[in-house]
Amino acid sequence: MERLQKVIANSGYTSRRKAEELIQSGKVKVNGVTIYELGTKVNTTDLIEIDGNILQKEEQKVYFLLYKPRGVVTTTNDDKNRKTVVDLIDTQMRIYPVGRLDYDTTGILLLTNDGVLANALMHPKNNIDKVYIAKIKGLVGKEQINQLQNGVIIDGQKTSKAKARIKKYDKKTNTSIVELTIHEGKNHQVKKMFEAIGYSVVKLKREKISFLDLTGLKSGEYRMLSPKEIKKLYFEIK
């Protein structure tokens, strides 16, 4: 439920102050009843009329940056009733995740109701960097790193150019930490890319999407994007 004057202002019809004046002068009806009270709350299904014209409500756009924990599904609704990324965010708005992180993958995930931005961020032509840190079973060689960078075949298609570098070897546990930066977002892409060069991913975290990272957030926490960040993201896709 939102205050009537806020709903009118958010629709782009007029400013909040002018909306208040319209209400006080008896020009606004909710579900056929004239409203004079400024505190009146309405919900999204209420019919609002101003001077006899139906108000077209434009949905306000919202943008969340979530540090996705392990054991949560990246969907709006899970048929097995598991916890979803949307369940972690306290909002009335109908948001959905931008792209997907696997159940066991952690890291940065954007959620929004802005379809234009969501689609653009997912489209490989916009070259949005997605940076992953992968813990790999075995010691990954330089030659395999080159293969990842030049593209490997997954699901019958060659992946586009990527950046890859070894961050650490642990000879005791026989594991490597590799940073991989890709633009595409095919299903299980990182795991499949490592599979294609003969390795398996033990742990996977997405650390960055373009200039956005997880600074200041703990696993399971989220924050809203600032207007400046939203502008910058739009700039990235142009």
The residues carrying an active-site annotation are 102
Whole-number Å distance between alpha carbons of 108 and 221: 10
Contact partners, residue 43, CB within 8 Å, separation at least 6: 1, 2
Whole-number Å distance between alpha carbons of 211 and 220: 20
Site string for ligand URA, 70-109 (x = CB under 6 A): -------------------------------xx--x----
Candidate ranges 9-17, 55-63, 168-176, 183-191; the one touching ligand URA (CB under 6 A)? 183-191
Whole-number Å distance between alpha carbons of 100 and 188: 9
The H-or-E segment that residue 134 falls in is strand 130-137
> CB of 75: closest distance to ligand URA in angstroms?
13
Whole-number Å distance between alpha carbons of 194 and 107: 19
> Of 27, 163, 188, 203, which lies in the binding site for ligand URA, with binding defined by CB under 6 A?
188
Residue closer to ligand URA (CB basis): 176 or 189: 189
For position 190 contacting ligand URA by CB under 6 A, the verdict is yes
Q: By CB under 6 A, name the binding residues for ligand URA.
A: 101-102, 105, 188-191, 204
